[in-house]
Amino acid sequence: MFGDLDGLGVEVADGPDAAAAVRCELAAGPETALVFAEVYRRGGEWKVRAVGQGYTDGLAGLATDFGVDVDADDEPAAVPAAPAPAAAPETAPVSLEKKRLIDLEKDLGRRGDQQMLSLVKTAGVSLEKRGLAEHTARVALCLDISGSMASRYSKGLVQRLAERVLALGLRFDDDGEVDVFLFGKDVHQPAGLTLDGYQKYVKEITGTHRLEYDTRYGAAISRIRRHYFGGSGERTEPLPDRVPVYVMFLTDGAPSDKAVATRQIRAASYEPIFWQFMGIGSDRFEYLQRLDDLDGRYVDNADFFAVTDDELVGREPISDDALFERLMTEYPGWLRTARQHGLLT
């Protein structure tokens, strides 16, 4: 058992003399197999994330968790263990994910960033209500940069939303970064949104990417699917992954490529990606509602809600906790369905 050992940990660094980019420590007990970290390829780059998963039934338990059937006859015979000496009661070990969240809040406190600290804690309350306190996901923010969005950018409405989505991204923490996509006539992918300089992020990206005079959902959805899954064509079978993708998709009107967008959402229903559509403004958003209720999908992979300008920045602002509640309305249910249908392993 690994519980007999002290100082269990793994460090991952970019070279023998480089500082550790990731350190995974684990306080083990009766486990006989441990997974410290997962190495995976995303967007053409190799990445690593902490896992901290233990198994009391050895390699058989680990293999089963990855979908491998193990016959009981293939398992080695158990060796009788010597009686263990009496030990003082120990507190339950803190999981790596819980430790990461504690360290995140400490880091925000050291930075003196009370605003983001409050947002992260508020997001955490909403996630805990849904059993997602230590959930891991990749988070993306997709922003409409059509000309009609000009006042929402200049008034700070989009910046306010971006900060809330960053708080979710920090809680989910696939890599501590929210991937950002911009769409109008074309689709762009600027540098991701992180804690560093997030207060001026929207101002900086709109200074680089001017507003455009078209609104193409289909092109944006296609680009996002290619980024995470390597393609955006039709699918007829599930494409499983261990980590889901949560996309916050903001727009103020209907697209010019409705047929393409509809096909893309249907095809994406075979992928572990959830689309949270948010309409901003006074539009009735019939098309977004249609995507929310779309038939012909493998699983229901989208949700939609609308807010007014005043609800984001104005006389009647929606509270942070109410906004997080809306962002998490259907995602937990989608996670359960995605697992049942083989989209998440």
Q: What is the three-state SS of the chain? A: CHHHCCCCEEEEECCCCCCEEEEEECCCCCCCEEEEEEEEEECCEEEEEEEEEEECCHHHHHHHHCCCCCCHHHCCCCCCCCCCCCCCCCCCCCCHHHHHHHHHHHHHHHHCCHHHHHHHHHHHHHHHHCCCCCCCCEEEEEEECEHHHHHHHHCCHHHHHHHHHHHHHHHHCCCCCEEEEEECCCEECCCCECCCCHHHHHHHHHHHCCCECCCCHHHHHHHHHHHHHCCCCCCCCCCCECCCEEEEEEECCCCCCHHHHHHHHHHHCCCCEEEEEEEECCCCCHHHHHHHCCCCCCCCCEEEEEECHHHHCCCCCCCHHHHHHHHCCCHHHHHHHHHHCCCEC
User: Amino acid letter at 59?
Assistant: L
Average pLDDT over every residue of 81-95 = 50
β-pairing, 20-25 vs 33-42, is unpaired
pTM of the model: 0.74
105 backbone dihedrals φ, ψ, rounded to 5°: -65, -35
pLDDT grade for 79, boundaries at 50, 70 and 90: very low
Could you tell me which residues are beta bridge partners of residue 10? 24
Arithmetic mean of pLDDT over the chain: 84
β-pairing, 20-25 vs 138-144, is unpaired
Residue 310 CB neighbours (<10 A): 12
pLDDT grade for 77, boundaries at 50, 70 and 90: very low
Check residue 88 and give its pLDDT: 45
The pLDDT tens digits for 129-182 are: 999 988 999 999 999 999 999 999 999 999 999 999 999 999 987 678 999 999
- What's the gap between Cα 109 and its chain centre? 23
pLDDT grade for 256, boundaries at 50, 70 and 90: very high
Average pLDDT over every residue of 197-211 = 95
Phi-psi category of 285—alpha, beta or left, where left has phi over 0 and alpha has psi -120 to 50? Answer: left
pLDDT at 261 over 50: yes
Contact 305, 316 (CB under 8 A): no
Check residue 52 and give its pLDDT: 57
Nearest Cα to Cα of residue 276 among 313, 241, 250, 238: 250
d(CA 114, CA 112): 6
- Give the HSE-up count for residue 254: Cα atoms under 13 Å, Cβ half-sphere: 13
Q: 98-340 sits in which CATH class?
A: alpha beta
Contact 260, 222 (CB under 8 A): yes
Residue appearing with tokens 């209500």: 129
d(CA 2, CA 53): 12
The pLDDT tens digits for 17-29 are: 555 556 656 565 6
**Sequence spans of domains, the chain:** 2-93, 98-340
Contact 183, 220 (CB under 8 A): yes
The pLDDT tens digits for 280-298 are: 998 889 999 999 999 999 9
